[in-house]
Homo-oligomer: A and B are copies of this chain.
Amino acid sequence: MSAPDSRRLAWAYLSTVAQGASRRLADAVAQHGPEAIAEAVRDGTQGAEVSRRTRARSHRDTAAADLEMVARLGGRLVTPDDAEWPAWHLLSFDSLAGRADSDAGPLALWVLGSRPLDELFERAVAVVGTRAASGYGEHVTSEIAGDLAVDGWTVVSGAAFGVDAAAHRAALGVGGTTVAVLACVCVDRAYPSAHTVMLRRIAEQGAVISEYPPGTTPARYRFLARNRLVAGTSSAVVVVEAGWRSGARNTASWARRLGRPVLAVPGPVTSAASQGCHRMIREGEATLVGNAREVVEAAGAIGVADDEDASWRRALDGMSGDMEVVYEAFPAVGACSVTELSESCGLDVDRVRAALPMLEMAGLVSRDDVGWSRGSGRNEVAGM
């Protein structure tokens, strides 16, 4: 591998210097380029907000060493400069309602594995759940993840014990594609360490990705950030078994905010491991699914393979992020109210109301006296 150029070194430096995702940092980089911002962060001449996020680590520039280490592990740093950057999936972070500074897509991604990210995430479904999976939960995870992988879907998960591991293993088992999103790309000292062999195979058949370079300590906030990435890179999130307070529910909650369908598998009401799923279904936070076909029905509605989607994406090109998010929130068929759209996409009612007339003018949605629906009523989307 040739020596990294100064721009790549700047991306590597910036991706480690912020403690977690930062919208302000990302905006600054988008505006002024990584090199200028890296220099400003080093000199402490960035704005107060960015400084607070970067101060603690700004003096430690491990960029060259990090890039060298990931290369030695057969990996690379992927940045928005690269053609494989999964821009489409990560766009929805820009439209989050009530955006905090940490409500941002990743600045860059550390990747082990050789396949391009945009290809891996073109048709991707997250399958996640509790570490304390029951035999039933592991069985159903294997069935669903295995069937999805056979059908050509990338199975995304978090490489934890229980449901996550069963999902990766099922995809590997059928020769499918699977991506592990980690709190750090720490294959050499894998966490959980028992998963080292599995992670190596995942990198071979898909990718192991993280916002943090090899060697980063897996801290709690990085696990939460990991959940956000699992949701952000997938077209739908399936929760197989989950307690009420769990990482899987955190992933599901990110998926909802990002306008992705959240699906949950039921189980015996006598099983503690299914309580989180049941409550999500009961409270309308998730749709009940029992097999891969039902997962694909939901995920397909926003999958890139869909022709209608491709055409509306072209139609939306250059439009506001809100419009995209609102459009994504529509059910594939049937009408819904402004409130339902607001709840589904996470934007408040006023922003949904503002986006709808523009979507209507674009012929993407229509209104009748029962509510708003996809489709133009009279004119076909294809005719635009």
Binding site for B on A (CB under 8 A): 136, 139-140, 265-270, 274-275, 278, 281-282, 287-291, 294, 335, 337-340, 349, 369-371
5 example contacts (A-B, Cβ-Cβ < 8 A) are as follows: A139-B270, A278-B290, A281-B288, A282-B290, A282-B294
A228 to chain B, nearest CB (A): 27
Q: How far is the CA of A87 from the CA of B159 in the complex (A)?
A: 59
Q: Name the contact of A281 in the complex, choosing from B275, B281, B335, B371 (C-beta under 8 A).
A: B281
Q: Check A269–B291 contact: CB distance below 8 A.
A: yes
Is the pair A349, B370 in contact by a Cβ cutoff of 8 Å?
A: yes
Extra contacts, 15 of them, besides A266-B268, A266-B274 (Cβ < 8 A), are: A139-B270, A140-B268, A140-B269, A265-B269, A266-B281, A267-B269, A269-B290, A275-B290, A281-B288, A282-B294, A337-B337, A337-B371, A338-B370, A339-B371, A349-B369
With the chains together, A291 CA to B265 CA distance in Å? 18
The minimal Cβ–Cβ distance linking A142 to chain B, given in whole angstroms, is 12
Least CB separation from A337: chain B residue: B337
Could you say which residues of chain B place their CB within 8 Å of the CB of A371? 337, 339
Task: Indicate which residue in B136, B335, B340 contacts A268 across the interface (CB closer than 8 Å).
Answer: B136
Closest approach, in angstroms, between the C-beta of A281 and any C-beta of chain B?
Answer: 5
Q: How many Å lie between the Cα of A274 and that of B281 in the bound state?
A: 15
Enumerate chain B residues within 8 angstroms of A290, measured Cβ to Cβ: 269, 275, 278, 282
Who on chain B is nearest to A265 by CB?
A: B269
In the complex formed, the residue of B with least CB distance to A277 is B266
Q: A140-B270, A268-B136 are in contact. Are A288 and B294 (CB under 8 A)?
A: no
Contacts of A267 in B (CB 8 A): 266-269
Contact call A289/B294, Cβ cutoff below 8 A: no
